[in-house]
């Protein structure tokens, strides 16, 4: 019997929260009985990860921010192997993919709104993006804060947006104690050294310069502390120069992109987010799933997830002194670190389950297909929770 074919389009398969979400969502949908194809324009480390999971991948080259050729390549792909559903992720794929899907006659078009993106503060870009939502049947906001942001900035119709919060697989982030010891040994970090880390793309949104300034202050009180910057991105060279000028080496290590994030998290004492804005950061959920204590800036997408002083310590944006003091509070209080980590893990289990997220998206697919007149019994049965 024919499977429901869902084509996911994303700007690239580099290291980031949207890419992580797509990886977990796509593989979860395949386990539930869908046929999934992933189209991407910028190659990255997740290409191999998705290939290893047996997913069908299609590289769609793109030349610029707006590229009509890119859109018609999407149309060609959709006509060569017609999907019942096109699901887009991130600005360029949303912008081109929604119209491409309609030109190709795809029945159902969905986009995920991953972030409170700064580009939407530009009146023209915000309204232009919102106008393309005309071609989408539904927009999935990863948090209520993202929904409210897009209602204000892109003026999309409230009836089009549904909130389905990000989820993570807690089991994937537990039981990595031995690997954590190996990572500390690999990076020449003593077992008893306080280890703080920031994980993500090295781009302006993450405001890693504030993390580096906070590290200087932490070292004044805790000279044996060590710091990891995990990830890669356009600001890497600039951040390395700043770190050298601040005298942070060898206390700080740029690890580059790592595939062993669960083990990296297990090696940390404190996960730090110094972001200027967020949607619902996947790494925050992953850190909580790994029972790590968290220090984060108090931004939308974080404040709706954590319980202040219970699952995380929150500080203002661009405030290295407050960020440092929050980190020191956790470094110097192991009992608080442990209780905060446990509370965070319990909250993820209760509220941010990966299976629940995938089941909600699957149900949305079925609902929209039925609204388009499809008889779901014509397709192979879709299961829930991967069963």
Average pLDDT over residues 40-63: 91
Q: Scanning the structure block, which residue is given the tokens 């859109």?
A: 71
What kind and span of H or E run contains 37? strand 35-42
CA distance 319 to 273: 12
How many CA atoms are closer than 13 Å to the CA of 129, on its beta-carbon side?
27
Say if residue 386's pLDDT is above 60: no
Residue 220 pLDDT: 97
pLDDT digits (tens, 9 = 90+) for 339-357: 999 999 999 999 999 999 9
Residues ≥6 apart with Cβ < 8 Å to 283: 17, 20, 199, 200, 261, 271, 273
Pairing relationship of beta strands 85-89 and 5-12 according to DSSP bridges:
parallel
pLDDT digits (tens, 9 = 90+) for 52-99: 988 999 999 988 777 899 999 999 999 999 999 999 999 899 999 999
pLDDT confidence band for 122 (50 / 70 / 90): confident
pLDDT digits (tens, 9 = 90+) for 140-162: 999 999 999 899 888 899 999 99
Average pLDDT over residues 268-288: 95
Say if residue 264's pLDDT is above 60: yes
Say if residue 360's pLDDT is above 60: yes
pTM for the model: 0.89
Let me know: does 228 contact 253? Beta carbons within 8 Å.
yes
pLDDT digits (tens, 9 = 90+) for 295-326: 999 998 899 899 999 999 999 999 999 999 99
pLDDT digits (tens, 9 = 90+) for 238-247: 999 999 999 9
Average pLDDT over residues 14-42: 93
Say if residue 387's pLDDT is above 80: no
Least confident of 26-40, 119-133, 311-325: 119-133
Buried-state track 76-111, b at ≥16 Cβ within 10 A, e below 16: ebbeeeebbbbbbbbbbbbbbbbbbbeebebbbbbb
Angle at 126 between CA 124 and CA 128, to 5 degrees: 65
Q: Considering the chain, what is the average pLDDT of its residues? A: 94
Query: By CB neighbour count within 10 A (0-12 exposed, 13-18 middle, 19+ buried), where does 305 fall?
Result: buried
Q: Is 20 left (phi over 0), alpha (psi -120 to 50) or beta?
A: alpha
């Amino acid at each position: 019997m024919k499977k429901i074919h869902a084509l996911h389009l994303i700007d690239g398969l580099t290291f980031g929260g949207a890419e992580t979400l797509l990886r977990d969502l796509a593989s979860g949908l395949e386990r539930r009985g869908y046929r999934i194809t992933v189209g991407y324009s910028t190659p990255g480390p997740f290409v191999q990860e998705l290939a290893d999971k047996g997913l069908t991948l299609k590289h769609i080259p793109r030349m610029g921010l707006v590229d009509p050729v890119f859109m018609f390549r999407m149309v060609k792909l959709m006509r060569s192997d017609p999907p019942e559903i096109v699901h887009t992720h991130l600005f360029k794929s949303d912008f081109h993919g929604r119209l491409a899907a309609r030109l190709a006659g795809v029945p159902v078009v969905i986009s995920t709104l991953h972030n409170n993106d700064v580009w939407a503060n530009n009146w023209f870009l915000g309204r232009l993006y919102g106008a393309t939502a005309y071609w989408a049947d539904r927009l999935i906001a990863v948090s209520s804060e993202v929904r409210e942001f897009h209602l204000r900035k892109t003026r999309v119709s409230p009836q089009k947006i549904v909130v389905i919060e990000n989820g993570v697989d807690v089991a994937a982030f537990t039981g990595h104690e031995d690997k954590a010891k190996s990572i500390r040994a690999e990076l020449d970090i003593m077992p008893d050294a306080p280890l703080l880390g920031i994980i993500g793309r090295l781009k302006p949104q993450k405001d890693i310069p504030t993390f580096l300034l906070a590290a200087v202050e932490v070292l004044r009180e805790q000279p044996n502390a060590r710091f990891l910057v995990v990830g890669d991105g356009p600001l890497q060279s600039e951040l390395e120069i700043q770190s050298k000028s601040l005298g942070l080496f060898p206390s700080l290590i740029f690890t580059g992109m790592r595939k062993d994030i669960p083990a990296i998290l297990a090696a940390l004492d404190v996960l730090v987010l110094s972001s200027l804005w967020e949607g619902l950061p996947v790494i925050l959920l992953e850190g909580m799933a790994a029972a790590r204590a968290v220090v984060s800036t108090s931004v939308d997408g974080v404040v709706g997830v954590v319980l202040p002083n219970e699952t995380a310590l929150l500080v203002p944006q661009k405030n290295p002194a407050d960020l440092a003091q929050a980190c020191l509070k956790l470094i110097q209080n192991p009992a608080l670190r442990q209780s905060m980590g446990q509370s965070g893990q319990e909250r993820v289990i209760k509220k941010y389950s990966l299976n629940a997220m995938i089941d909600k998206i699957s149900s949305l697919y079925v609902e929209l297909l039925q609204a388009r007149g499809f008889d779901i019994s014509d397709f192979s049965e879709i299961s829930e929770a991967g069963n």
